[in-house]
Amino acid sequence: MNSKLITPMNLMLSIIYMLFIISFAVVVTLNFRPLYYMDIQHLDIAKTSGIPEEEIKENYDVLIDYNSMLYQGELQFPSLAMSESGKIHFEEVKDIFVAVQYLLIITILLGAGGTILQLKKKQYGFLKLASILTLIVPVILGILIMLNWDNFFVTFHQLFFQNEYWIFDAALDPVITILPDTFFMHCAFMIIGCVFAGSILCYGIFAYLKHRLQNKSRV
């Protein structure tokens, strides 16, 4: 096995792996509805919003379906009003999530091709490098969130949205009453956890392949 860790191929493939793991974590978290269902109880959303639990789930499910790259059409909540600015904001959110889903597909294809090539050469360093690069993400995000979640939340929106449509008026967009900031913090922690797990998995596979190759070389 080539012991040189940082090579152009390893670096390129490790970046692809990092982007794959991050996009995978985002897509999994977006579609993991039990997290929100648990928060309905944990955060007592039905009481704070004044909306029955089943109605909350129904509107939330429509929102998640809307953010799928496979969904065609406009967002229409079953029982909640929506302003024009709210409609525009959710369209912008969908654009971001669809871009992440495309990124996931692209990195799967590129990563698969690069992985096959490197495995044939018995060069596994890209997995170790991917583990290191990917680990940086949850560490930095975790620190920022722990230091000041509110500031992180506001800064995130200011970076990704060029308007203030994300600042909802509950009277015009009651959906905001069923989407408390704490739920988004839980989503952030789930994404960080998935990214961290992906980093550990990359290193674990690297260690296994390296150990197996060394054992074969001794035979």
pLDDT in tens, the chain (219 residues): 445 788 899 999 999 999 999 999 999 999 999 999 999 999 999 999 999 999 999 999 999 999 999 999 999 999 999 999 999 999 999 999 999 999 999 999 999 999 999 999 889 999 999 999 999 988 898 899 989 999 999 999 999 998 999 999 999 999 999 999 999 999 999 999 999 999 999 999 999 998 887 877 665
Cα separation, 219 vs 216, in Å, equals: 5
The first and second tokens of residue 157, run together, are 């929106």
Residue 184 belongs to some domain of the structure: yes
Could you identify the residue written with the tokens 């096959």? 116
Q: In total, how many domains does the chain have?
A: 1
The reply to whether 45 falls in a domain is yes
Residue 1 falls inside a structural domain: no
The label of the residue with tokens 């975790």 reads 142
Asked if the structure places residue 2 within a domain, the reply is: no
Cα–Cα nearest to 39, from 187, 169, 170: 187
Assess if residue 3 is contained within a domain: no
Joined together, the tokens standing for residue 3 give 């012991």
Residue 180, domain member (yes or no): yes
In a domain, 122, yes or no: yes
Residue 15, domain extent = 8-218
